[in-house]
Amino acid sequence: MSERKSNSFKTLLWGLIILGFAIMEFPGIFFINRIEPMIFGMPFIYGFIIIMWALMCVLFYIGYKTNWGRGSDFKEADEVEK
């Protein structure tokens, strides 16, 4: 059960990262490139990109802390017994 839960979490993490990159790179954002509405006192497009950048940093940090992409038997170099 734990392996299945881990796989679904990794799938969710992958999906959110791909969705985040797709949203940041979507050219449709230029259709709403206006000064109003202001986000954090900046024009909309700058505020949107900063929010998306922060979200992506959080997602990658979660992936890093959960050993995302490595098998459960992976050990760091300093953890290997000599």
Residue (of 75, 69, 77) closest to 11 by Cα position: 69
Identify the weakest region by mean pLDDT among 18-22, 38-42, 54-58.
38-42
Taken in order 60, 62, 66, 68, is the CA torsion positive or negative?
Answer: negative
Burial class (CB in 10 A: 0-12, 13-18, 19+), 1: exposed
CA pair distance 56, 73, nearest whole angstrom: 27
Asked whether 24 and 56 are in contact (CB, 8 A), the reply is yes
Task: Write the pLDDT tens digit of every residue in 43-68.
Answer: 888 888 888 899 999 998 888 888 77
Q: Please determine, for residue 72, whether its predicted confidence score (pLDDT) is greater than 50.
A: yes
Confidence label for 1 from pLDDT (cuts 50, 70 and 90): very low
pLDDT, mean of residues 71-80:
62
